[in-house]
Amino acid sequence: MSAKVTSIGLKGLEGYCVQVEVQVIDGMESIVVVGLPDASVKESKERVSAALRSLGFPLVDRRVIINLSPAEQKKNGPLFDLAIALGVLKSGNFMKDSIPKDAGFIGALSLDGTVLPVEGMIAAILAAKKLKLRTLYLPFDPTIPKIEIPELELVYIETLQDILNVLSGQQLLPVDRSANLVEEVREMERDFNQILGHEFAKRALEIAASGEHYVLMDGPPGCGKSLLAETFRSILPPLTKEGQLEKISLHQLAGAPYTSITTPPYRHPHHSASAVSIIGGGTNPKPGEVSLAHRGVLFLDELGEFSKKTLDMLRQPLENETVTISRAHSTVTYPAKFIFLAAMNPCPCGYLGSHDQYCSCSDKQIKSYKSRVSGPILDRIDILLSLKAVNLNHDFNGIETSSAIKERVREARERQYLRYGREVCNGSVPFEELIKNSPLNSDQQRNLQKIFIANGLSNRVQIKIIRLARTISDLAGEDGISEASLTEAFSLRKTVRTSFASLTGEERREMTYK
């Protein structure tokens, strides 16, 4: 007799239904697993055999055939152990109770029958919801938060014997979740009231946080680029329940630690990091920095020091908010929706255009340095800022706190969520939907067209300026896109020095001493 047990397979962060079909027949003792299993799945036959023997169900003179369906999908990880063990028990007539068809089973087995947590459990839980399963049996993991999903009952088990007790109708002792949960560590954050000056940059970062726009900061060393980026996360609203689950899922799959569940992630890779570590990859593709920054911030300091290959690989996640990793045996897509912050110097020495220092770089060095950030990358960035050192002799009174700015950001996002009917901001909503909800009048369209033609802006940049204007109007509480917001949005694309590499040596020296 064959037995079927439902489990869940993972392809990146996406889960799919796996039917574990087991047939136990008389014959030479052996276990065969088919259905494109990887090494960890093939080894499950040894774990399952030892676990059943520890419960008093040895597979003596039995031949076990296990099929993981769909057969064309590559199966990874030990999360099918529990389903395989149940299928063997049912097909071998070791248990009489029926296995519910609307229930899923995930978990790895130890040799003594203990059910152990596996990577990607939260992704499997979210997949169970999409697959409309009524019950999911899984091991208890003290490192994940309490999850409550309507119409999906989560039953936590500790041993294989527990699952047999549940299916036979016996009482299962509840798992004490509160006793083992790790307390959230609140990270120390900088505050905008600690930053002197840079009012225009603070305003630009507030707009970026409100609409999830990308920012590139350009300026000499020590002018405050990194400080502004590190403080930026203090004005971001906390993650929603869905965002928290996605954050934990990606960190679990990558094996990366995290300290806060509710705080948006902030990733700051060094410029020597490889393309694989930033984009993701490996034999079994793991999430990279762009995915670990999902729902948060990815900050690349010294952007010009990153390899050109690495920067060009950012095009897909910046445009599509996903990253697709293709390998010989599988193709995996991970989410990569983040706010991109970048900072770079105007030249290799950093003092091009400085009032206090002389630039020692040649034209060739500057051109090579600037060319690492290609035009397509600059086109995908919404806000371009040029920063200068702040004169500390000025009086700085009444500097606004991050909490006040965060409240305005929250209100602006709420307006966007209400307008679009879902949690999406102006920076990523389809442009057709944005312009349908906030149409420009004929005068605005005519004036914008003149400005765009005069400045030679690409279509992508034109769209980004309109997106910025919509966010600025949301911060002002305006229903439509105002003339003032369009003017301010255009100013956020004019403040970066993008043409230094094309200047002659004499022109650069004049600018340096200007």
Q: Is residue 396 part of a domain?
A: yes
Q: Is residue 360 part of a domain?
A: yes
Distance (Å, rounded) from C-alpha 237 to C-alpha 298?
A: 16
101 with 166, same domain: the answer is yes
Number of domains in the chain: 2
Token readout for 55 is: 């419960």
219 with 158, same domain: the answer is no
CA dihedral 50, 54, 56, 59 (to 10 degrees): 10
Q: Is residue 504 part of a domain?
A: no
Q: Is residue 405 part of a domain?
A: yes
Q: What is the CATH number of the domain that holds 155?
A: 3.30.230.10
Which residue did the predictor score with more confidence, 269 or 147? 269
Q: What is the CATH number of the domain that holds 311?
A: 3.40.50.300
Sign of the torsion angle spanned by Cα atoms 289, 290, 293, 299: positive
166 with 264, same domain: the answer is no
Please spell the DSSP secondary structure of 212-245, one letter per residue.
T--EEEE--TTSSHHHHHHHHGGGSPPPPHHHHH
**Among 68, 28, 26, 30, residue whose Cα is nearest residue 46:** 30
162 with 272, same domain: the answer is no
Token readout for 18 is: 């796996």
Q: Is residue 472 part of a domain?
A: no
Computed over its alpha carbons, how large is the radius of gyration of the chain? 28
pLDDT (tens digit per residue) in 274-297? 999 999 988 778 899 999 999 999
Q: Is 248 exposed, middle or buried (0-12, 13-18, 19+ CB in 10 A)?
A: buried
Strand 297-300 to 339-344 pairing: parallel
210 with 252, same domain: the answer is yes
pLDDT (tens digit per residue) in 45-64? 999 999 999 999 988 889 99
264 with 343, same domain: the answer is yes
Residue in the block written with tokens 């010009």: 304
**Among 226, 227, 237, 221, residue whose Cα is nearest residue 406:** 237
Work out the number of other CB atoms within 10 angstroms of the CB of residue 255. 9
350 band by pLDDT with thresholds 50, 70 and 90: confident
140 with 210, same domain: the answer is no
pLDDT (tens digit per residue) in 207-262? 999 999 999 999 888 888 999 999 999 999 999 888 888 898 899 888 888 878 88
**Residue 69, SS3?**
strand
Q: Is residue 467 part of a domain?
A: no
Q: What pTM value is reported for the model?
A: 0.84
127 with 202, same domain: the answer is no
Residues 6+ apart with CB under 8 A from 177: 140, 146
pLDDT (tens digit per residue) in 105-141? 999 999 999 999 988 888 999 899 999 999 999 998 8
**Considering 130, 158, 180, which residue would you say is the last residue of a domain?**
180
Q: Is residue 513 part of a domain?
A: no
* Spatial contact of 113 and 160, defined as CB atoms under 8 Å apart: yes
**Residue 60, SS3?**
coil
Q: Is residue 44 part of a domain?
A: yes
pLDDT (tens digit per residue) in 29-39? 899 999 999 99
* Spatial contact of 113 and 55, defined as CB atoms under 8 Å apart: yes
**Considering 429, 456, 476, which residue would you say is the last residue of a domain?**
429
93 with 156, same domain: the answer is yes
237 with 138, same domain: the answer is no
Sign of the torsion angle spanned by Cα atoms 131, 137, 142, 147: positive
- Averaged pLDDT of the chain: 87
pLDDT (tens digit per residue) in 460-478? 999 999 999 999 999 999 9
228 with 132, same domain: the answer is no
Q: Supply the range of the domain harboring residue 95.
A: 2-180
**Considering 396, 429, 462, which residue would you say is the last residue of a domain?**
429
Distance (Å, rounded) from C-alpha 422 to C-alpha 428?
A: 12
The pLDDT, as a whole number, for residue 182 is 42
The pLDDT, as a whole number, for residue 500 is 38
Distance (Å, rounded) from C-alpha 293 to C-alpha 224?
A: 22
Which residues is 384 bridged to in the sheet?
A: 216
Over residues 185-201, mean pLDDT: 79
* Spatial contact of 114 and 47, defined as CB atoms under 8 Å apart: no
pLDDT (tens digit per residue) in 309-325? 899 899 999 999 999 98
Positions of E strands within 165-220? 215-218
Does residue 180 carry a pLDDT above 60?
A: no
245 with 379, same domain: the answer is yes
